[in-house]
């Protein structure tokens, strides 16, 4: 089974800050990696697919990069509506989510 490790598990940042979350796979998954945002009490929402592609309708301040085992998710300028928990997910071998990163506004 492929394990996904996200860091940090939580973070607090100010509006306008650049925020970075990392995700490491336990084995090479090429670019079979997606990122989701889950607002409190809601279903997850797809933000980035195939490591670096922005889902239709998602603001351009969200960016993904990486391949192999190491991936990065970045919000270039944090907005109040970005609060929530972010998950990475691999699909190279079935499906596995990272444990999540809870993002709060200072």
Partner 1 sequence: QVQLVESGGGVVQPGRSLRLSCAASGFTFRTYAVHWVRQAPGKGLEWVAVISYDGNIKYYTDSVKGRFSISRDNSRNTLYLEMNSLRTDDTSVYYCARTPAGRGAFDLWGQGTLVTVSS
Using CB under 8 A, pick the residue from 46, 54, 58, 83 that binds partner 1. Answer: 46
**Is 43 a binder of partner 1 (CB under 8 A)?**
yes
The strand pair at 84-90 and 96-97 is best described as antiparallel
CA angle (18, 19, 23) in 5-degree steps: 145
Does residue 95 contact residue 1 with C-beta atoms inside 8 Å? no
Under the binding rule (CB under 8 A), the answer on residue 89 touching partner 1 is yes
Beta strands across the sheet bearing 19-25 = 4-7, 19-25, 70-75, 62-67
Interacting residues with partner 1 between 8 and 27 (CB under 8 A): none
Using CB under 8 A, which of the segments 20-28, 48-56, 60-68, 73-81 binds partner 1? 48-56
Q: Tokens for 48? A: 């980035």
| The one among 50, 70, 81, 104 contacting partner 1 by CB under 8 A | 50
Q: Does 80 bind partner 1 (CB under 8 A)?
A: no
With CB under 8 A as the rule, give the number of residues binding partner 1. 26
Whole-number Cα distances in Å, 68 to 51, 79, 99 = 10, 30, 19
Residues near partner 1, by CB under 8 A: 1, 32, 34, 36, 38, 42-46, 49-50, 55, 85, 87, 89-92, 94-100
């Amino acid at each position: 089974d492929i394990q996904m490790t996200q860091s940090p598990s939580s973070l607090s940042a100010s509006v306008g800050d650049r925020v970075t979350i990392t995700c490491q796979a336990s084995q090479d998954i090429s670019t079979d990696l997606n990122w989701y945002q889950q607002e409190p009490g809601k279903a997850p929402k797809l933000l980035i697919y195939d490591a670096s592609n922005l889902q239709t309708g998602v603001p351009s301040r969200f960016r993904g990069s990486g391949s192999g085992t190491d991936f990065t998710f970045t919000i270039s300028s944090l907005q109040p509506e970005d609060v929530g928990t972010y998950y990475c997910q691999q699909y190279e071998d079935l499906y596995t989510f990272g444990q999540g990163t809870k993002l709060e506004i200072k």
